[in-house]
Structure formats: structure tokens, C-alpha cells
Amino acid sequence: MAITGIGVVAPGGVGTKEFWSLLTEGRTATRAISLFDATRFRSRIAAEADFDPHHEGLTPQEVRRMDRAAQFAVVAAREAVSDSGLEAAGALGAAGALGAAGPDPYRVGVTVGSAVGATTSLDTEYRVVSDGGAKWHVDYTYAVPHLFDHFVPSSFAAEVAWAVGAQGPASVVSTGCTSGLDAVGHAVELIREGSADIMVAGATDAPISPITVACFDAIKATSPRNDDPEHASRPFDRTRNGFVLGEGSALFVLEELSLAHRRGAHVYAEIVGFASRCNAYHMTGLRPDGREMAEAIRVALDEARLPVTAVDYINAHGSGTKQNDRHETAAFKRALGEHARATPISSIKSMVGHSLGAIGSLEIAASALAIEHGVVPPTANLHEPDPECDLDYTPLVAREQRVEVVLSVGSGFGGFQSAMVLAREGLERGTW
């Protein structure tokens, strides 16, 4: 399945170019939280997107109607469609209506992943309708008329569909921190089964709100390194002490390679394998042997018809928690054997934080761009490797090398484990 368009909203900049520049330069976007007063929380740091919806072309009506996460998704979707060449070819009009020269709108679908939905708006509106939590108002005119849109995550798929004029299948995938990978995997399956010709797919989340920060404070999953936020996210480092919350969105235009060739579209990469598993074990705990992630990797590579030795780069989940990084290291060794030691691995969460459901799609974008540019992004802040994380985690500095095949993995609360394989266009694959 061809990726022919990429759109990104991420900490450190809006747009694919800015995102890739931040990653390859090894810069971090983690700072003290500015979106609300976080002084009473254990962890007071996050990777916030420098995002002005009016500057990004959203109308005042759209800004009022949409949650911040929905705004991210719409901006990313519009960039992806424009980048794919569909808009330039007249297939998609400026207002999102599919033109007569373009694809059948009933054959264009949308799949959006999200872990926490419109948390930011719901948190804000709760304060409004409950007088800051002191009293619930019987007069519901206190609430905004778009409160229902914030209440249902399905509004994300609806907003993206409206923005690009897609009238085919539309859905939301919510599997925690693997939502971004799973949403794209679902979109690929819809095209393969014949339900759509083109899918606009990816994920979005804007979780930097008091309720979300409180959730992770309660289980001490986030880093309390408040005096040094720029270096707080340090996956695979011996001194790591939790992940740093982030936000953002990445959306893609997906289509069969033959369709992309017919219309002369640029192909960043092909998605050639995907699998997901659940450990059926614990909401936040992980078995130390990495068995379930390893199984997802094995099945994804089998679907891709590629041997483990074909993997040139692994885009890790790399959250920066003690157990996740060790679990993931074990999974790579279990799935790839000795080849795990010869393969560069990195975590972009070290630079853009952990945007929950959105991060999987941002990692797919990074994986496709690694193939496109022949660069492996680094793991920032990795100064003291954990002896139990003894693989090549590409510390501090990006690495130029030819990248033909990328394995991107995700791990989420609830035991979700997902793996996706991306390959350079036209890469010869067989059966092993």
C-alpha cells in the first residue's frame, strides 16, 4: 500500500518539513506546560505544539466547533491531501468537495486513531457547566452548542471527512498508545478488501490537560524532571524516569501502488506488513520477555514476505519508562535474533514526547521519511545507556544510511502491541 501524502502537526512545528528537521537535528520540543497552570502536579512538563489554528487556515467557525485534537487532524489531513497531488490535480477542491475529475467520493474513506478523544474541550466544558466543579447547572445554555461533538470521538473522523470531501467508510480506532499504528493498519485493510480506493488515515491527540496529567501522575508514569524539561524524555537511558506527555497528529493518503503510478504520484514508501496483539495480562504491566510484541513483529514481517535480516531501521516505541524500554529490547532480540544487534533503533519520543494515540502515526511519518531521505533519526538525551537496553539505539546524532525497510512498533496500556513494516517502493520481496 503506497503512502503518497503526509501531513503533520507536531511539537516543534507544523508541517512535515518542520517535523523532519527537528528529528534529524536531534532537537527536543519538551518544555514546561504552558497550556494550563500545572504547578500543583507532580509532572509539569510536556511537548506542546506551537499551533495557531487561524494561521493554519481554519475558519473562526471551525475553531469554535472543533476540539484542539480535531483541529490538528484537519490541518494534517489537508497537508496530506495537497502533498499527495490529488488537490493539485483537481481531485479535491479548496473547500474539500471532490471534483468531477477526481476519484469517486464514495471510494475515499477516513480512519482516525485517538487514545483520549476531545479531552481538552471536555475538561474545559466541565468547568463551565459545573461552576468549576462546585455546582452543576440545570440551565444547559452554559454549555457550548458543539458539546456533543466533543463528547463523541467519532467527530474526529467526521471533521476529516468533511475537510477532504471523503464520503466512503469513516471510522475511529481507539486502542490506547497503538491507535496511530492500528488506524493506518485498518485503513490498509479497507483498501485491500475493496471497500475503498483511497484512504486518508492517521491519528490525533491533544491530551495536555489537567485530567490527563492527573491520570499519569497517579501511576507515576510521567517524568518529574521539571527542572530540566528539555532533557526529561530519555528513552533507553539508565537515568530515565518516565515519559513526557506530547500532542500532535499525522495523517496520510494511502492508495494501491498501481493507482499511484497511474496518476504519477510520488510514493514515500509502501506499507507491506502489519499485525497487532494483546498480552491479556495487565492494564499497565508488561511481561519482561516481550513475547507479544515479538509475535506482532513476526506476523508483520511474514505478511511483508521479508526476512528479519531485511530490516534496516527500527522506529521504537521507546517511551522512557523503565519496564517498557526493557520489554521492547527483549522483544527485538526475540523477534530478530542476532540481527537485532546490527540494526539501528531510535525513539522520536525523546524529541516530541508521547502524544498517546497520535504518536504511532507520527512514528509512521518518521519511518517513511527515513526511507525517503536515507537518514535514521537519533534518540536524543541518551547519554548513559541502560545495561539492560544493550542494542544500537542511535544516541544523540542522526545517521545517514540507505534505508530500504523500517519496522515501526507500538506498545499501549491495556497490553496492546502493534508492528508495521514499511519498505522502499518496488522493493523485491519473496517468501522465506
Per-residue model confidence as pLDDT tens digits over 235-270: 999 999 999 999 999 999 999 999 999 999 999 999
What's the topology of domain 272-423? Peroxisomal Thiolase; Chain A, domain 1 (3.40.47)
Q: What is the SS3 string spanning 258-319? A: HHHHHCCCCCCEEEEEEEEEECCCCCCCCCCCCHHHHHHHHHHHHHHCCCHHHCCEEECCCC
Give tens-digit pLDDT for 277-315. Answer: 998 877 777 888 889 999 999 999 999 999 999 999 999
- CB–CB of 364/423 below 8 Å? no
Boundaries of every domain in the chain? 2-262, 272-423
Q: How far, in Å, CA of 348 to CA of 362, rounded?
A: 9
What is the average pLDDT value for the chain, to the nearest integer? 92
Specify the DSSP class assigned to residue 237.
B
Q: Which pLDDT band holds residue 137 (cuts at 50, 70, 90)?
A: low
231 is known as an active-site residue: no
What is the percent of the chain where pLDDT is above 90?
A: 80
| Cell reading at 43 | 509532572
- What is the CATH number that goes with domain 2-262? 3.40.47.10
Catalytic residue selected from 150, 186, 231, 317: 317
Domains 2-262 and 272-423 share a fold: yes
317 is known as an active-site residue: yes
54 is known as an active-site residue: no
Strand pairing class (375-376; 399-400): antiparallel
Catalytic residue selected from 177, 186, 231, 389: 177
Q: How far, in Å, CA of 419 to CA of 196, rounded?
A: 23
Averaged pLDDT for residues 168-196 = 97
More confident residue, 47 or 429: 47
Catalytic residue selected from 231, 327, 354, 389: 354
Give tens-digit pLDDT for 361-407. Answer: 999 999 999 999 999 999 999 999 999 999 999 999 999 999 999 99
Per-position DSSP letters for 154-182, written without gaps between them: HHHHHHHHHHHT--S-EEEE--GGGHHHH
Q: What is the pTM of this model?
A: 0.94
- CB–CB of 8/357 below 8 Å? no
